[in-house]
Amino acid sequence: MAEQLMKYADAVAKYEPVFGLETHVELSTNTKLFCPAHIEFGGQPNSQLTPVSLGLPGSLPVVNKTAIDYAVKLGLALHCDIAEWSQFARKNYFYPDMPRDYQISQYDKPLNGEGYLDVELDDGSVFRVDIERAHVEDDAGKNTHVGGSDGRIEGADHSLVDYNRAGVPLIEIVTKPIEGAGERTPEVAGAYVRAIRDIVRALGISHARMEQGNMRADVNVSLHKKGEPLGTRSETKNVNTFKGIEKTLTYEIRRQAALLEAGGEVLQETRHWDESKQATAGGRVKSDANDYRYFPDPDLVMVHVTREHIEELSKQMPEMPRERRARLKQEWGFTDLQMRDAVNADALDLIQESVEAGSSPAGARKWWMGEISREANERGVSLQELPITPQDVADMEALIESGKLNDKLAKQTVSGVLAGEGKPAEVVAKHGYQVVSDDGALESAVDEALKANPDIVAKLKSGNMKPMGAIIGAVMRATKGQADAKAVSKIVMQRVAK
């Protein structure tokens, strides 16, 4: 049965959304949180395990120091109150991906307490998201449902479990309820999760690849009318794309508004985002937090992070993404829009590396955001996956600067590099690309073109420069694109002035 939805504009005009995000970030430590099993994406199933990751009787967890340091760094980036003493607790539930039948998480004594993150929106305005906590916990394994028609739980005969991911360190960043975003709720949520992604990458504490499940979010949202108590929320679990997070909020706001408007009630339930249906679907009624029967894990004593150590880690903090962007924008002289496009295309590092390799910022931007982005879109891959490097771009710019290539030849050279023909110099040599400038060949090509177009010559002589392009075009054709347009134009002017 299709659910009733209210038009989004009407829904946010009538109701105030209040939302919250629980963002899970997998840390890129070498080994798991509680045992020295190496972590690697895409390994043979059940090949990255120790007795601890399997929860075998008699095995005991030992905390990974790097995971704690990474979590402290994130706490510093999110301006959290970092607890000198924190504690792991057991969260009890039965599910086959959790071999111990409890997750080791943190409950009343998380490592990172309250903090905040200022999130920049598309129009340049800043929205402050308050953080409730950012605690450390271990991940579960991965279930594959077998026998169903579409791999979903419904209709499956049985499930297969790979525990490689079980025990991978996670940080769960929990926001406070976020109010006042109104119709911009999905945008704020998307910008917030992207900001978290950028921060953990800048800190070097997570690969933060959403497609590999390194990051995922539980999306909570409720609606209420101004001045009235908060409404009942729904929780959509494990949304693993930025767009999915935004769409979940849009959908839930529309669905809940229609429900409330019809006099119905929102169920406190967990839902999931169904990408194929572009809708959230109901799951089960959420269990009471008490049902998890949290208690301090008796296998683990408290984790002590000294003030001195936190101070030491704070000195290792890199420049944060927002500050870095502001600085680069200034240095490069980009407009807001140019900067945002580069960020959204994930081209910032590539442009920076090109500039470091000698390119002008404008030149680097032109290539990465132009020809190269087009090629990436066509192939459906990221810029980083294409066979062209920042050094190649800088070399291209040098060839253009020195007058060895014109725009047209430069584009052909880039096409060659993208087609795997080699480095720019190799592509130039292979095709014999060379700008024909002030030699006799160019002059005779111009003369040919002028002779073939007496009417244009007449216009040029009368001071009408509009047909100049036609002559340049003819010379380009004659020289197979190797002419320097500026040189051609100069010769034409000399000829018609006579």
Partner 1 sequence: MDVMPTFTREEIEHLGDLARIALTDEEIERLKGELNVIAESITKVQEVAGDDVPATANPIPLEAYLRPDEAEEPLTQAEALAGAPATEAGMFVAPRILGEE
CA 278 to CA 398: how far, in whole Å?
48
Backbone angles phi, psi at 221, to 5 degrees: -155, 145
Could you tell me which of 43, 145, 59 has the C-alpha nearest to residue 104? 59
Shortest separation between residue 298's beta carbon and partner 1, angstroms: 8
Taking the least distance from each CB to partner 1, the nearer of 91 and 329 is 91
Contact 309, 68 (CB under 8 A): no
Report whether 168 contacts 212 (CB < 8 A): no
Name which of 44 and 462 has its Cβ closer to partner 1.
44
Structure tokens at 418: 């993208």
CB of 36 to partner 1, least distance (A): 4
140 vs 474, beta carbon nearer partner 1: 140
Ramachandran bin of 277, using left for φ above 0, alpha for ψ from -120 to 50, beta for the remaining angles: alpha
482 in helix, strand or coil?
A: coil
Q: How many Å is the maximal CA-CA distance in the chain? A: 99
Residue 333 CB partners (closer than 8 Å, separation 6+): 361, 362
Q: Extract the tokens encoding 106.
A: 């943190």
The rounded distance, in Å, linking the Cα atoms of 111 and 83 is 5
Residue ranges that bind partner 1, judged by CB under 8 A: 29-31, 36-38, 44-51, 54, 56, 62-68, 85, 87, 92-98, 108-109, 140, 143-146, 153, 156-163, 237, 270, 272, 283-284, 291, 293, 296, 300-304
Q: Which is nearer to partner 1, 200 or 303 (CB)?
A: 303
- Cβ proximity to partner 1, 36 vs 182, nearer residue: 36
* Nearest-5° Cα angle at 441, 435 to 445: 100
The distance of closest approach from Cβ of residue 54 to partner 1 in the complex, given in angstroms and rounded to an integer, is 6
CB of 89: closest distance to partner 1 in angstroms? 9
- Between CA 492 and CA 307 the distance in angstroms is 75
Calculate the CA 260 to chain-centre distance: 35
Question: Among residues 94 and 211, whose Cβ is nearest to partner 1?
Answer: 94
Q: Cβ of residue 125: shortest distance to partner 1, in angstroms?
A: 37
For residue 140, what are its two tokens?
A: 């579960």
Yes or no: say if 435 and 404 are a contact pair by the CB < 8 Å rule: yes
Nearer Cβ to partner 1, position 194 or 272? 272
**Residues 397 and 363: beta-carbon distance below 8 Å:** yes
For partner 1, which is the closer residue by CB, 60 or 470?
60
Least Cβ distance, residue 204 to partner 1 (angstroms): 13
Q: Which residues contact 156 (CB under 8 A, 6 or more apart)?
A: 145, 146, 147, 148
Least distance between partner 1 and beta carbon 300 (Å): 6
| Shortest reach from residue 45's CB to partner 1, in Å | 4
CA 141 to the chain's CA centroid: 24
CB of 437 to partner 1, least distance (A): 59
d(CA 484, CA 75): 56
If DSSP codes are grouped into helix, strand and coil, which group holds residue 119? strand
Measured from the CB atom, the residue of 311 and 439 that comes closer to partner 1 is: 311
Distance linking the first and last C-alpha atoms of the chain = 82
3-state secondary structure of 286: coil
Nearer to partner 1, 146 or 419 (CB): 146
In this structure, what token pair is assigned to residue 388? 């062209």
Q: Which residue's CB is nearer to partner 1, number 310 or number 485?
A: 310
